[in-house]
Amino acid sequence: MNFIELKCVSSLTKVFPDTDLKEPPYLCGSALRNEVFSFQAAYRSDRLVKRLHVKIDTGSPALDPLIHSVGLVPSELPSYGNGDDFVLRNTPGLYPDPLYPITTDTELYAYPRQWRSLWITLRVGKEAKPGNYQIRITLYGKDNSTFGRNSEWYGESVFTLSILPPELPKQQIPHTEWFSADCISTWYGLTPLSPPWWDIISAYVRNAAEHGINMLLTPVFTPPVETKADTERLTIQLVDIRKNGSRYHFDFEDLGKWIDMGLENGIEYFEMPHLFTQWGAQFTPKIIVRENNELQPMFGWHIPSESPAYLEFLEQFLPALTDYLDSRLDPGHVFFHISDEPGEDSLERYGRLSAFVKNLIGAHPIMDALSEYALFEKSTLTIPVTATDALEPFIEKNVENLWAYYACLQYQDSLSNRFFALPSNRNRILGIQLYRHNIKGFLHWGYNHWYSGLSVKKINPFLNTDADACFPSGDAYLVYPGAHGPVNSIRIEVLREAFQDYRALQLLESLIGRTETQKLLEKDIMPITFRQYPHDPEWLLTMRETINNMLYTILKETTYAYL
């Protein structure tokens, strides 16, 4: 019998085929109830083996593992070339990222002297029985290929998961990754609002919510973001609008269907599209209106933002929209946008328009990306969403309702991000950073942007991972388009872990207070900022184990005495 080398490593390890796996084995970990726990089983052989199967025994029917093969995708633009040293590599090549579902019937390949990886996900339910569980991973098979000569192969490794009695609380912090419904329509060739479209949209929304993305960009009209001037993205408009003379009539039936779909799939917050174009609110979004029995883009690039016709439209549309939303949702769970990242040259216009909109939407908050504190002081913004490299002055001034975001430009000074080329702990540290600085929400622009930069053309995200040389690979999307729904990435799984860390810290704070929780985080290290934190992935893993054990110790004598 020939033996396959099999080695358990943590979810923070990226397994490259052309690099020796030097990380120490990761043989045990702990999870709270109501948590998703992931680790990897990396494997290699000294020759090509084509017919391997995997079997996982958890010792309990309550722990039903999901097994994925970590696929490789190309990156021609892993970085802009002027980043920091906290990277895995800056060279083009094949990077581990997509997670392909496998079963015991799936045949795996072992390539000669190449490390490959299995991603193992354990969903620990609220009713899970605390205790230690041995997770036995076995690779086996008989290779009947020309080179295999009917040889048998075998490899095994064991990981111990300790399920602790404390229950991870529900996520409280809003988290949005902009949902591109038009990209889904384009990829699958589906007519927007058709029954098959609703089915596939629902699958993507459900997957987002399962990964801690609890806010959904809602296309009441086509969102005017990441769009080249004088071009348009595919129309996705949930509100049917008719014009008769000077009056507009609105049908919210499809919006209601969207809200129902979101709530059924775990969404809690709904985010309206920007009411004006990106980077300064100079023009209006594309809005399709039926007039004289003809559908036409009544607003868009051809209409200035302060056009009387558009402002008159908003005076009718926004009160009707908010009345409908208030009949369905808590007003605090609906957010509005004016324009993304206005600059100094557009601030006066932005101020006029935001004041105009505020008078029409009542108590609903306005949130926008705005990363210069001097501009924020001049604005009338309810919720500033600030880039992580610009947060310091906002934090120092104790700005209320402060949110954070990162995108393609936050790649220096060890800032958290999730590019292919970055280590996964640089992705996961976000949860601790958000907690440490009491950030109230997180936004990113790319859940599934499968277009080139500025949405000029469709791309194949399995082959073109940088939006046509626009963004470093990993910025534009967290999921890939599968046959019947999303193919997840290791980055979305690690991002979920970041928000689970946040939830665990909130639970600990409820028991020992915020001051003591922060002291625990920063014990023996410098204060944690968005630029400064331990770079060793072992620190993150150990810190989470410390939090888990402290939760158990505090609660075991009272809450869990019966266990």
Tell me: the pLDDT tens digits for 188-239? 999 999 999 999 999 999 999 999 999 999 999 999 999 999 999 999 999 9
* Per-run averaged pLDDT (10 residues), the chain, 563 residues: 94 97 96 98 94 93 92 98 96 98 91 97 95 96 69 94 97 98 98 98 98 98 97 98 98 98 98 96 98 96 98 98 98 96 92 96 95 89 96 96 98 98 98 98 98 98 98 98 98 98 98 97 97 98 98 80 45
Which domains occur in the chain, in start order? 2-167 (2.60.40.10), 181-375+447-488 (no CATH)
- Are 139 and 52 a contacting pair, CB within 8 Å? yes
d(CA 534, CA 512): 24
How do beta strands 28-33 and 151-167 pair?
Answer: parallel
CA dihedral (552, 555, 556, 561) positive or negative: negative
Q: What is the pLDDT of residue 275?
A: 98
- Are 11 and 490 a contacting pair, CB within 8 Å? yes
d(CA 492, CA 175): 13
Distances (CA, A) of 377 to 233, 341, 347, 373: 33, 14, 11, 6
- Are 109 and 32 a contacting pair, CB within 8 Å? no
d(CA 450, CA 428): 24
d(CA 41, CA 31): 18
Element (H, E) at 520: helix 514-521
d(CA 18, CA 111): 11
Tell me: the pLDDT tens digits for 356-408? 999 999 999 999 999 999 989 888 889 999 999 999 999 999 999 999 999 99
Q: 469: closest CA among 482, 456, 486? A: 456
Q: What is the pLDDT of residue 447?
A: 98
d(CA 70, CA 21): 15
Structure token pair of residue 454: 């500025």
What is the pTM assigned to this prediction?
0.97
